[in-house]
Structure 1
């Protein structure tokens, strides 16, 4: 009886709020524009991620000259940001559960600003590494919280396109870093290259002030009225708001006790397929070699005999391809599907690395084959950036149920950055041991493993709401389509 009375009360409240919202509704376009604006502002964190990780590619040549770094110290300075990213990724999930997604993004923006200013003022390689460690906390935190924030606001049919705003912003940041590295070397010192990123960090901090909180987090905090208002800002009709809010409330009530179990909840068998799929994709997003190429392309190419300027221009081309392919991936991911997109693109990445490795391994690198080196490098970027990079953060924002979302997305980001750290921190050492050709073949093998992993263990999530994905996990039907 109490449940029926509660339900009737909910219906009356829905009807009342529907009439209220109808009186103030600005039309369906306003909700869509507001949603796009929210995703766009939050995705500025992706720009900072891309710029702050990518700028080391052009700045490292100046830093090496200023501080007299050997190849091992170069690796340490470069990878310090990745150590910080692991720390930030693990800590940000807990923070977002306590203070909310929106305020967490604001904290991350403040750390971004502090980190880049400290990097620009660093008096030695040690302090530069320490500053980049702090900056990495913001990078890792952004990569954990922003995709979750956008996914929890987006409707199921638009979620892929909206979450990949984050990926596109990463691409814009990497391209901007490439432009700065290629064309402003004579005008900007590496200190200015770092410190200028404080401007977009402050824009992000101020821009988040007026944006809505995640309705799913609000429901979890029993702030249902605020959740209804937040959903009303980004949904076109009151009917959508009511239906989605009921679904969120139902899932939140069912998982309230599970959330109290803490990290022990991750050990439950029904969650295992989501953790395997999500964490595996996170690992192979980096083990496929994308960040290593972005960081070290100028270093690899100058070692292969390219001029300093030619190497920087090639790095700029790498960044441009990353951005273009990320945009194309955004356009097709909700139509083609996450799993299918990866399976179509990864074989091309493998072939590109095999060719690139062969050129170096058999001593064919020289002026006559420089075009083949650049073509193979660019082809790898096309297939990698347009495939697994599109879904790396997207899958992490989709597959983890509400009861473990903060913890699991923290693990997801930590896995991604830990894999990045492993690869980036050993790249130059591996090249010294195996040669550039042998290293490229090794990375080709990792791409083959990534293809097999996705084929056998990663289900499709296209067009499914977050609650539908959770129900599939509960029912044991979250399986790859063969």
Structure 2
């Protein structure tokens, strides 16, 4: 027998069979939402150089075009969560696939930067909605003992989408770089996974947990029978019913819980983690890496090819992080991650300031940036999302995670908006020294505020937080 989450009844073991292939197919199709998330946030990286030439972007309008997607994502995460709760996870993912398609086509056909920024906002709505809906759909469809691994595949698909965007950009720029409007082809590629997501989700089932919450128990059992053995499906109906009831209780708690001091403290910690994750500047590399490499000495063609290393080491980093995340204490790994990223910020800043211009300087900064990306994605990136899923009591989890993710997206948008004009105003070295200061602040925050959650049940954590913060 295997046991689910704390307080769950024992369930029959999840024996592999034909239903396992069905669950695998559901996972692959749903995580196309994560792939689109990654591609649409990463594709702008290599497209900015031809965009600047075609649409006359300045550093300010460049920051606006990039950040509009992130502002849209902040709103999309909130709206997507509401629509997902009301109409169903599958329904929302189908809607998101349509929004992804509309946003992509609108960006490709944009006659000027204003229209491009508007359709980037539309794409952001889809990106934010995917960030709020796809992990929930996967978590509610997967068996409890495989939930962590299956949900984490969405994070892998996000960084894989960014890597794919960097590679596609490099190929298109290398072959058609002299053509006018080449950036339109870079953006158009995203239409293919959007169509695949829509077509695939038409054949996928609804979340059994959501169906139970709607009182549709027979349909929930039918879905579980697609992705579990018959014995496990019948036994799990009671488990899903219990979880749905707890979810209703958590929703009912609402904003009144914010009057409790220890809960406010936890939300402050969650929002702080989201903000400091983004203030590592990881997305300044994911969005502007090609421009950064061009500024330090690479030619336009060499920079867009070299930038693919950032995507590759992002994938390698998160893969390493997944292997280590349950073997090292959360606080230790988080402190180590911020120490490493802050060190690499310092080294990039010193290299930009002290090394003479030339090929050697360009390659030194490339290596340091790639190592920063690897360390960030192997530690802070997945850890923040994991800790957010662990620190909040069930009854306020949706509200608290929503606030924390909103803070994360807004911090992401701020970095995307100000990075180009800040680099233009104070230079690369001083910009990275700002990241060093933010990294030191993050280390102090984690050391003083973030609790250890590894190896503790949700009930144990709640009792600890009550004693510690009351």
Match of 2:184 among 167, 179, 191: 191
CA contact (8 A) 2:262 2:466 kept: no
User: Could you say what the CA RMSD is over the residues aligned between the two structures, in angstroms?
Assistant: 3.0
* Alignment partner, residue 203 of structure 1: 196
CA contact (8 A) 1:111 1:134 kept: yes
Give 1:163 deviation, angstroms. 1.9
* Alignment partner, residue 8 of structure 1: none
Give 1:260 deviation, angstroms. 3.3
CA contact (8 A) 2:294 2:300 kept: yes
| Alpha-carbon distance change, 417 to 318 in structure 1, aligned in 2, over 3 angstroms | same
Counterparts of 1:15-414 in structure 2 under 5 Å? Answer: 28-185=16-173, 186-187=175-176, 189-235=182-228, 238=231, 242=235, 245-250=237-242, 252-253=244-245, 256-257=248-249, 259-269=251-261, 271-272=263-264, 274-336=266-328, 338-414=330-406
| Alpha-carbon distance change, 206 to 277 in structure 1, aligned in 2, over 3 angstroms | farther
Greater alpha carbon shift after TM alignment, 263-272 vs 213-222: 263-272
Q: Matched residue of 2:307: which SS?
A: helix
* Alignment partner, residue 10 of structure 1: none
Give 1:429 deviation, angstroms. 2.0
Deviations 1:182-218 (A, max 9, x none): 2211437111211221110111122223333333333
In structure 1, how many angstroms separate the alpha carbons of the residues matched to 2:14 and 2:138? 22
CA contact (8 A) 1:160 1:334 kept: no
CA contact (8 A) 2:209 2:243 kept: no
CA contact (8 A) 1:84 1:137 kept: yes
In structure 2, how many angstroms separate the alpha carbons of the residues matched to 1:344 and 1:157? 29
CA contact (8 A) 1:258 1:265 kept: no
Deviations 1:8-54 (A, max 9, x none): xxxxxx9xxx9xxx9xx995243443333322221111111111111
Give 1:81 deviation, angstroms. 0.7
CA contact (8 A) 1:158 1:334 kept: no
| Alpha-carbon distance change, 28 to 234 in structure 1, aligned in 2, over 3 angstroms | same
Count of residue pairs the alignment pairs up: 454
| Alpha-carbon distance change, 27 to 214 in structure 1, aligned in 2, over 3 angstroms | same
Give 1:95 deviation, angstroms. 0.9
| Alpha-carbon distance change, 101 to 310 in structure 1, aligned in 2, over 3 angstroms | same
Greater alpha carbon shift after TM alignment, 296-305 vs 336-345: 336-345
In structure 1, how many angstroms separate the alpha carbons of the residues matched to 2:256 and 2:283? 33
CA contact (8 A) 2:207 2:220 kept: yes
In structure 1, how many angstroms separate the alpha carbons of the residues matched to 2:354 and 2:340? 21
CA contact (8 A) 1:54 1:173 kept: yes
Q: Matched residue of 1:53: which SS?
A: helix
Deviations 1:383-430 (A, max 9, x none): 001111123444445555554444444333322211111111111222
CA contact (8 A) 2:250 2:394 kept: no
CA contact (8 A) 2:138 2:151 kept: yes
| Alpha-carbon distance change, 370 to 193 in structure 1, aligned in 2, over 3 angstroms | closer
Greater alpha carbon shift after TM alignment, 297-306 vs 331-340: 331-340
In structure 1, how many angstroms separate the alpha carbons of the residues matched to 2:331 and 2:237? 29
In structure 2, how many angstroms separate the alpha carbons of the residues matched to 1:83 and 1:296? 17
Q: Matched residue of 2:176: which SS?
A: coil
CA contact (8 A) 2:293 2:362 kept: no
Give 1:175 deviation, angstroms. 1.1
| Alpha-carbon distance change, 257 to 213 in structure 1, aligned in 2, over 3 angstroms | same
Q: Matched residue of 2:127: which SS?
A: helix
* Alignment partner, residue 3 of structure 2: none
Give 1:440 deviation, angstroms. 0.9
In structure 1, how many angstroms separate the alpha carbons of the residues matched to 2:451 and 2:137? 22
In structure 2, how many angstroms separate the alpha carbons of the residues matched to 1:76 and 1:429? 10
CA contact (8 A) 2:97 2:195 kept: yes
CA contact (8 A) 2:393 2:462 kept: no
Greater alpha carbon shift after TM alignment, 57-66 vs 270-279: 270-279
Give 1:364 deviation, angstroms. 3.9
In structure 1, how many angstroms separate the alpha carbons of the residues matched to 2:304 and 2:45? 8
| Alpha-carbon distance change, 413 to 263 in structure 1, aligned in 2, over 3 angstroms | same
| Alpha-carbon distance change, 172 to 356 in structure 1, aligned in 2, over 3 angstroms | same
Which runs of 5 or more structure 2 residues have no equivalent in the other structure? 1-8
Which runs of 5 or more structure 1 residues have no equivalent in the other structure? 1-13
